[in-house]
């Protein structure tokens, strides 16, 4: 059994971090200075164009645009799972990274949590397509 090398070497890891940081700042600036995302400069979902299906990620660009303008209620209307769920994942991930960096391997978290995340993602993607109240609150609007 070989020990798996880390995903990225420290130098590469720093570079990837800086790249992602620059991307995030650039993305925020672009969203902040755009009046709307309903134009050709922002990517559209090919799946939605083809099927009209509101998948789990539907409304992500609109939600981020609303957040960049400080409009939390519009962000929740566009994609509530992103607004409520992403911070949970980011905090969890940061917590585990911090444990690892302090030399305390955080252990393997039980697979049931990953199944739970998957279940939430799938359920959200199904429920927001149900055309009856209160499911209609989940669809981007």
Partner 1 sequence: MASGNPYQSTGAPTGAGQHVPNYLVQSIIATACCCLPLGIVAIIYAAQVNSKVAAGDISGAMQASNNAKMWSWIAIGLGLLGQLIYIGFMVLGGVASQM
Other Cβ atoms less than 10 A from the Cβ of 93: the count is: 10
For 26-62, give the DSSP string.
Answer: HHHHHHHT-S-S-STTS---HHHHHH----TTTTHHH
Q: Residue 6 or 131: which CB sits closer to partner 1? A: 6
Element (H, E) at 114: helix 111-127
Q: How far is the CB of 130 from partner 1 (least distance, A)?
A: 18
Residues near 62 by beta carbon (within 8 Å), at least 6 away in sequence: 37, 74, 78, 79, 140
Contact 118, 85 (CB under 8 A): no
| Cβ nearer to partner 1, comparing 56 with 78 | 56
Question: Which stretch, 22-30, 65-73, 107-115, 132-140, contacts partner 1 (CB under 8 A)?
Answer: 107-115
Rounded least distance, CB 100 to partner 1, Å:
9
Q: Is 78 in the site for partner 1 (CB under 8 A)?
A: no
Binding mask 26-65 for partner 1 (x = CB under 8 A): --------------x--xxxxxxx-----xxxx-x-----
- What single-letter DSSP state applies at residue 77? H
Site for partner 1 in 83-102 (CB under 8 A): 89, 93
Residues that bind partner 1 (CB under 8 A): 1, 3-4, 6-7, 40, 43-49, 55-58, 60, 82, 89, 93, 105-111, 114-115, 117-118, 121-122
């Amino acid at each position: 059994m070989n020990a798996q090398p880390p995903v990225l070497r420290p130098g590469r890891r720093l570079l990837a971090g800086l790249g992602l940081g620059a991307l995030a700042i650039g993305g925020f600036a672009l969203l902040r200075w755009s009046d709307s995302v309903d134009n050709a400069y922002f990517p559209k979902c090919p799946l939605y164009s083809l099927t009209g299906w509101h998948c789990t990620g539907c409304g992500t660009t609109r939600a981020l645009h609303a957040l960049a303008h400080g409009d939390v209620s519009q962000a929740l209307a566009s994609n509530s799972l992103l607004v409520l769920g992403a911070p949970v994942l980011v905090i969890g991930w940061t917590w585990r990274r911090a444990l690892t960096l302090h030399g305390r391997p955080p252990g393997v978290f039980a697979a049931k949590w990953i199944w739970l995340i998957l279940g939430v993602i799938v359920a959200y993607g199904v429920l927001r397509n149900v055309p009856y109240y209160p499911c209609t609150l989940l669809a981007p609007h």
